């Protein structure tokens, strides 16, 4: 499939629409952005004020149309996220809400959806890795898994909405420095959340501050009980992305699947599945083709090195896997794929066999690729030492 042919002329309509909304928001409203400096001394989170100016009449925007090729490509794990501009990613996220029936399910105002997505984008920082493109990447993988596993045929649309929305919000206002740094540096964020998943708690807080504003509340037309379920569901999923809880969450899921005992009708089993799915999507880059996944590795290592440099300057502990003087691409990948990714994806593929060829096999190929490169590096190093 020719990548350049995937972008239909219709997407230009949406780009213009999004640009119009962006200008309108910038000119008529105060942007809703956290200015908390989570990376260091000034990490107090300001009180959020409802500073949007309401429009008496919301303008109508023509619904855009994507090509059939783009619509199908968007459902694939091989989707190349590097070929899409920010406005196009916004357009594709909006499409997901329409295609999955979430706009109808939650009675979402179309203009509010656009404003919410723009606000989400503005609240992702320009980090090397944890940025808006990562948000889109995780959400696109979830969208693909929903279709590959036909989840929309087996679980409620409300749960589908929680999955997609949690993916979009899962790293909001990420500062580029992980929980270990927050805790060791004793930042205000770590103090605020008592060293318990400080970043994930912050991502949740930003998500629901955005939703607390009528201009960007896509769930404004839901009743109180529905919104309470959405809030509970999104919070549990975003908190599940803390890798410190990886083993605990995976073990619960494994126990549910033991002896073919997993039941989607069992609420506890469904919650565990949703938590594992968002975890899979959050760290799914290695599932994609190497030409897509390797640039993500470069971005991640850049962010890691920025943190380890800062930790060295401040006299804080430095993790070996983040130290530019110790880590290589192969060493960064092999253990992570073998001991984190493969066990989790293989377990999910036992429940959804259709994922085996499109996710498990690519992971095994990626492992083999990096192991081969490591062998070559070791041979070169050995020759240099003799």
Residue 204, CA distances (Å) to 23, 39, 266, 311, 332 in order: 27, 18, 26, 26, 29
Nearest-angstrom CA–CA distance, 189 and 151: 36
| 198-220 as b/e: b if 16+ CB within 10 A | bbbbbbbbbbbbbbebebbbbbb
**CA-based nearest residue to 316, from 307, 325, 324:** 307
Nearest Cα to Cα of residue 316 among 179, 188, 205: 179
Q: Which of 233, 314, 318 is nearest to 277 (CA)?
A: 233
Q: Map residue 233 onto helix, strand or coil.
A: helix
Q: Which residues are catalytic?
A: 130
Distance (Å, rounded) from C-alpha 19 to C-alpha 13?
Answer: 10
- Residue located via tokens 């594709």: 92
Please say whether the beta carbons of 55 and 145 come within 8 A: no
Are 203 and 165 within 8 A, CB to CB?
no
Q: How far apart are CA 99 and CA 75, in angstroms?
A: 11
Joined tokens for residue 304: 């890691």
Task: Locate 306 and state its tokens.
Answer: 């920025």
């Amino acid at each position: 499939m020719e990548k350049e042919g995937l972008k239909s002329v219709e997407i230009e309509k949406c780009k213009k629409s999004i640009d119009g909304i962006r200008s309108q928001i910038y000119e008529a409203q105060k942007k809703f952005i956290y200015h908390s400096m989570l990376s260091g001394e000034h990490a107090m989170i300001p009180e959020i004020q409802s500073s949007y100016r309401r429009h008496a009449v919301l303008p109508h925007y023509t619904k855009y149309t994507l090509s059939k090729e783009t619509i199908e490509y968007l459902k694939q794990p091989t989707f190349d996220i590097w070929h899409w501009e920010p406005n196009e990613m916004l357009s594709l996220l909006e499409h997901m809400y329409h295609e999955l029936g979430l706009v109808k399910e939650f009675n979402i105002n179309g203009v509010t959806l656009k404003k919410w997505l723009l606000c989400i984008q503005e609240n992702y920082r320009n980090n090397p890795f944890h940025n808006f493109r990562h948000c889109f990447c995780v959400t696109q993988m979830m969208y693909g898994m929903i279709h590959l596993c036909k989840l929309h045929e087996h679980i409620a649309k409300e749960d589908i909405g929680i999955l997609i929305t949690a993916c979009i919000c899962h790293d909001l206002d990420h500062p580029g420095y992980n929980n270990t740094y927050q805790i060791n540096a004793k930042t205000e964020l770590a103090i605020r959340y008592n060293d318990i998943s400080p970043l994930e708690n912050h991502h949740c807080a930003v998500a629901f501050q955005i939703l607390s504003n009528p201009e960007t509340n896509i769930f404004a037309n839901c009743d109180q009980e529905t919104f309470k379920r959405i809030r509970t569901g999104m919070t549990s999923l975003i908190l599940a992305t803390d890798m410190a809880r990886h083993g605990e969450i995976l073990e619960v899921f494994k126990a549910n699947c033991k002896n073919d005992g997993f039941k989607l009708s069992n609420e506890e089993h469904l919650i565990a599945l949703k938590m594992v799915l968002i975890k899979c999507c959050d760290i799914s880059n290695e599932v994609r083709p190497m030409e897509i996944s390797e640039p993500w590795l470069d971005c991640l290592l850049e962010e890691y090195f920025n943190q380890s440099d800062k930790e060295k300057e401040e006299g804080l502990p430095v993790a070996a896997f983040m130290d530019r003087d110790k880590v290589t691409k192969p060493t960064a990948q092999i253990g992570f794929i073998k001991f984190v990714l493969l066990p989790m994806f293989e377990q999910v593929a036992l429940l959804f066999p259709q994922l085996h060829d499109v996710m498990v096999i690519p992971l095994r190929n990626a492992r083999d690729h990096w192991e081969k490169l490591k062998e070559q590096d070791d041979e070169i190093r050995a020759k240099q030492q003799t």
